[in-house]
């Protein structure tokens, strides 16, 4: 197996763990908050889910840097100028910043969840589109920001509808 194939596998596994982890994190948060109390078992489930998310993010960032290095060392530097690549790097940067802000409790769980799930799905979609279609950097980021806003309202609606709120 060559290095490029190895990087692709790492990147796909990282993205799959992240997308799946973000999806299950939101589903599990809603389930845990249904009765207004997070039990020890629910907390442990969330801890495991967040560990999977962190590992997926690590694999994604590690393989992403590997791709940058691979492109540079193999003379395929034209890949480094792709607006889609830079949009994806920006969104992964937003995801990393979001994790730090959530961990330090500087951002609400609702906003952090919207950013997280939108970032993971956007990274997945951009990874698929990266091979064929080219969009501008600005257009990708505008769609991303609008998607985060929509996801914020969707998650807020779902939380309002399905979780118990203390009076």
Per-residue pLDDT of 93-113, as tens digits, reads 999 999 999 999 999 999 999
Cα dihedral across residues 12, 113, 108, 49: positive or negative? negative
pLDDT bin (cut points 50, 70, 90) of residue 167 is very low
* pLDDT of residue 148 exceeding 60: yes
> How much is the pTM?
0.90
Mean pLDDT value across the chain: 91
| Entry field: residues in the chain | 167
Residues sharing a CB contact under 8 Å with residue 65, sequence separation 6 or more, in sequence order: none
Residue in this structure with the two tokens 């501008």, named with its chain if needed = 136
Instruction: Write out pLDDT tens, residues 49-65.
Output: 999 999 999 999 999 99
């Amino acid at each position: 197996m060559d290095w490029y194939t190895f990087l692709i596998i790492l990147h796909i596994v990282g993205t799959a763990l992240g997308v799946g982890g973000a999806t299950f994190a939101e589903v599990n948060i809603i389930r845990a908050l249904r009765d207004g109390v997070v039990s020890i078992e629910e907390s442990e489930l969330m801890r495991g889910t967040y560990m999977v998310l962190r590992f997926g993010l690590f694999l994604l960032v590690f393989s992403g840097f590997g791709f940058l290095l691979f492109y540079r060392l193999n003379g395929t530097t034209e890949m480094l100028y792709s607006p889609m690549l830079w949009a994806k790097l920006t969104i992964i940067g937003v995801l990393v910043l979001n994790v730090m802000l959530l961990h330090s409790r500087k951002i609400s769980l609702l906003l952090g969840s919207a950013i997280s799930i939108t970032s993971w799905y956007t990274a997945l979609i951009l990874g698929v589109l990266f091979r064929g279609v080219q969009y501008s950097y600005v257009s990708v980021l505008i769609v991303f920001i609008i998607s985060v806003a929509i996801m914020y309202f969707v998650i807020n609606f779902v939380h309002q509808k399905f979780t118990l709120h203390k009076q």
